[in-house]
Amino acid sequence: MSVSQSEERRPVTVVGVSMRELLASCAAADAVSRPPRAPEPASRPVVQDRRAA
């Protein structure tokens, strides 16, 4: 394989999308694709026994 053939196989770089926008879109897609978190169980109020010792 000659050098010119290997250069032809290089992937095309998309110009116009910043790395910040790319990362933000990936984070948004990840957040949207996950199901909502289950609500945390309600904590019971702790009842303390106030008897005199």
Round to whole Å and give the CA distance between 24 and 33: 14
Averaged pLDDT for residues 12-21: 82
How sure is the predictor about 25, in pLDDT bands with cuts at 50, 70 and 90?
Answer: very high
First to last CA, the chain: 91
Predicted pLDDT at 29: 93
How sure is the predictor about 52, in pLDDT bands with cuts at 50, 70 and 90?
Answer: low
Going from N- to C-terminal start, the domains of the chain cover: 3-32
Predicted pLDDT at 23: 94
Round to whole Å and give the CA distance between 45 and 6: 69
Round to whole Å and give the CA distance between 23 and 45: 43
pTM, to two decimals: 0.39
Predicted pLDDT at 49: 66
Averaged pLDDT for residues 3-16: 69
Cα 20 to chain centroid distance, Å, stands at: 14
